[in-house]
Amino acid sequence: MYVITNRRVDESATGLEQFGKTPNEKGNNELRLARVSRTREDYAVKFLDDQLDKGEAREFIDEFELSLDPGQTQYASLKAACETVRRARKNKRHILFYVHGYNNDMRDVMQTAFDLETRYEVEVIPFSWPANGGGVGGKLSYLSDKRDARASTGALERALKKVREYLMLISESSRVALREKARAKFPDNAERRDALYAELLRKDCPFTVNAMFHSMGNYLYKQMLKSSINEGNALIFDNVVLCQADTNNAGHQNWVDEIAHNRRVFVTINENDFALRLSRIKPGDAQLARLGHYIKRLESRVAHYVNLTDASWVQQSHSPFAEPARRNEKLRNFFTSAFAGEPAEEPLRYRPEGNWYEIPR
């Protein structure tokens, strides 16, 4: 899989050690792309050169019929986008953009990303920010990561902007051809023409693009959405999952309601989440109730709140999509549907008194 990161890169190291624990030396907004493969013993890492070889660029432009000039300089992000879409089409898998949380080194990030790919049969694009606590522990580690998250908002915005740019570019030629096909079939019937066009689009693009922001990754996303110059909130995702969000419950509707999406925004909550309980204690009295830890004031107009507190096997878990979902089929089905761009709340039980859904036992 391809990993987008604003971490410092040390290509003299090997494997995951090439991903540093601090922001890129050229600035917090500097992005690098790496291809990471899981081997029997460990992980193989190859960072991509910034510019793409012209011959290779031409192959992608021809294969995907892109409206790009092969004589002009193209970048590594083109290669990553085309190969990810190629795999999604071939394997009939959906694409999941994944942003991790607090105190995750690259081994944590990649283990989770590959587990998500395997368990939910999706193509994962991880965005990794320097969430390693700055080499300190406890409260200082938490605050250090929070500063790094805030400083990484520009990098996340750039990454999302590029994802949308290439998805639109790759689908553009198909949209034009399919629109002409539908027009030729029904030149005098706009309703049937539009219906055929929609069906042809669905068959041509059998995957959806969804996102999961986990833990403090939600704080990073929130800061990006609140930015006065924000180009990262364009319409990219069908579903957005705010999983165990380590950000304030108070006023969350002010930014959650701004999330651009096609179908659903899900907010998962676990009152027994050990990590969110600790994160509220670490910074002291100033830390308010966490969105992923609190079942009151669930006031967003667009979010579907999913209370996992009493779901089997969740217990104190901070990652309900991982081991709890392996053991609980109904919980796994929820995440499978959410990561496939589907209305994943439909099989759940709705509790109007709290404005949340819950996993049936």
Chunked mean pLDDT (size 10), the chain, 361 residues? 96 93 92 94 93 94 91 94 94 96 92 97 97 56 80 93 90 73 81 74 76 96 82 86 96 95 96 88 69 96 97 97 98 98 97 96 86
Q: Which of 183, 208, 218, 47 is nearest to 123 (CA)?
A: 208
Beta carbons of 58 and 171 less than 8 angstroms apart: no
pLDDT attached to residue 193: 78
Q: In this structure, how many other beta carbons lie within 10 angstroms of the beta carbon of residue 39?
A: 8
Distances in whole angstroms, Cα of residue 77 to Cα of each of 28, 35, 86, 89: 18, 11, 14, 18
C-alpha angle with apex 239: 238 to 245, nearest 5 degrees?
Answer: 150
pLDDT of residue 117: 97
pLDDT for residue 135:
46
Question: Could you tell me if 100 and 108 are in contact, meaning their C-beta atoms sit under 8 angstroms apart?
Answer: yes
Residue 229: CB partners within 8 Å, gap ≥ 6? none
> Which token pair is 83?
């190969």
CA distances from 114 to 25, 153, 221, 284, 316 (A): 28, 24, 22, 35, 23
**Neighbouring-strand partners of residue 307:** 269, 358
What's the distance, CA 298 to chain centroid?
Answer: 23
